[in-house]
Structure 1
Amino acid sequence: MTAGQRKQTGRKAKTSGSRNAAKSRGPEKYERGTRSYTMSRIRGKDTSIERMVRSFLFSKGLRFRKNDKRYPGHPDVVLPKYHTMVFVNGCFWHMHEGCPKATRVPKSNVEFWTAKLLRNRDRDARQHAELEAAGWKVIVVWECELGKKVRDERLERLYHEIVDA
């Protein structure tokens, strides 16, 4: 491809060095540029696990506010009557220690993803400490705790953590 052709198409010519580098990392799951788009489509509110937790708590007669922006971290569930906040965290995004879902860092742009996930974990710890210092009880429900086999037990335990305090 000549310089004129590259200018018209807006593409860079492939070099043999970049091809060999790609082979050494193994096959990419996504085409170049697709991972960023895919990750950007992941929502932060009203996820399936959040809806599951809220539906359970509502069915038990608890009333709450959701994603209240007045508090640090915008808790997923705020129960003012019990002075309790519930965060429903995805294992990957919040680096759940000891969870297999949290150990997979994307293979491309590793430094970026590692720094981002560490910042998320540090921010969560800071926000939880701030809420606890203000007198709130903070409960974290992890995505892996809501798998089919352990879901019912975890939701019942969550209910009792809230009302039996």
Structure 2
Amino acid sequence: MQSNKGRDTSLELGIRKDLFRLGYRYRVNYRPVATLRRTADIVFTRKKVAIFLDGCFWHGCPTHYTVPKANAAYWAHKVAANVDRDAETTRLLTEAGWSVLRFWEHRPADEVVAEIVNELNRVTAESGAISPVRSSPP
């Protein structure tokens, strides 16, 4: 399992590249709440938006996850624990005032970026602040 990437997957790199190109700045693999031992893939600290890009196998995608034949009980338990931890993380961050967005790895990057930008614009509008980013790519 050491060869499985925990960060910098091709989807994550593509989304980060698109967000950066649009003028957004963010933290990568960062704890939104310092006292909570959970890291989000992309974090907008000032807007309090945490993005999680979940792998279909590791996080139990309802569309693509299948229990492996070898060591099925172990994997079923492991993935169920991951799903429970994901739900708890979302709940804890939401209670702490964060917006949490979760996306499956099979989602097209352009759709994910559009949803992230919409959420960032929504948070900005709610706060009454002027967005420092461009509305269109350069």
The answer on whether the counterparts of 1:65 and 1:77 sit within 8 Å (CA) in structure 2 is yes
- 1:87 is the counterpart of 2:49: no
Task: State the alpha-carbon separation in 2 of the partners of residues 129 and 153 from structure 1.
Answer: 24
SS of residue paired to 2:46: helix
For residue 52 of structure 1, what is the aligned residue in structure 2? 14
Q: Give the TM-score normalised by structure 2.
A: 0.80
- 1:156 is the counterpart of 2:114: yes
Q: Aligned letter for 1:156?
A: A
List aligned pairs for 1:40-79, cutoff 5 A.
Answer: 40-69=2-31, 70=34, 71-79=36-44
The answer on whether the counterparts of 2:43 and 2:50 sit within 8 Å (CA) in structure 1 is yes
Task: State the alpha-carbon separation in 1 of the partners of residues 37 and 91 from structure 2.
Answer: 10
- The structure in which a higher percent of residues are helix is 1
Deviation at 1:130, TM superposition (A): 0.6
- 1:105 is the counterpart of 2:70: no
Question: Which digits, 9 at most, give the CA deviation of each residue in 1:16-66, with x for residues without a partner?
Answer: xxxxxxxxxxxxxxxxxxxxxxx4411111111111111111111111111
Deviation at 1:72, TM superposition (A): 4.0
Check 1:72–1:132 CA distance in 2 against 1; reply closer, same or farther (3 A cut): farther
SS of residue paired to 2:40: coil
Task: State the alpha-carbon separation in 1 of the partners of residues 29 and 111 from structure 2.
Answer: 24
Task: State the alpha-carbon separation in 2 of the partners of residues 44 and 136 from structure 1.
Answer: 22
For residue 132 of structure 2, what is the aligned residue in structure 1? none
For residue 8 of structure 1, what is the aligned residue in structure 2? none
Deviation at 1:156, TM superposition (A): 1.4
Task: State the alpha-carbon separation in 1 of the partners of residues 47 and 116 from structure 2.
Answer: 13
Q: Relative contact order: is structure 1 or structure 2 higher (C-alpha 8 Å, sep ≥ 6)?
A: 2
Q: Give the TM-score normalised by structure 1.
A: 0.67
The answer on whether the counterparts of 2:15 and 2:112 sit within 8 Å (CA) in structure 1 is no
Q: Aligned letter for 1:89?
A: D
- The structure in which a higher percent of residues are strand is 2
List aligned pairs for 1:8-27, cutoff 5 A.
Answer: none
The number of aligned residues is 120
For residue 128 of structure 1, what is the aligned residue in structure 2? 90
The answer on whether the counterparts of 2:30 and 2:43 sit within 8 Å (CA) in structure 1 is yes
- The answer for unaligned runs of 5 or more in structure 2 is 124-138
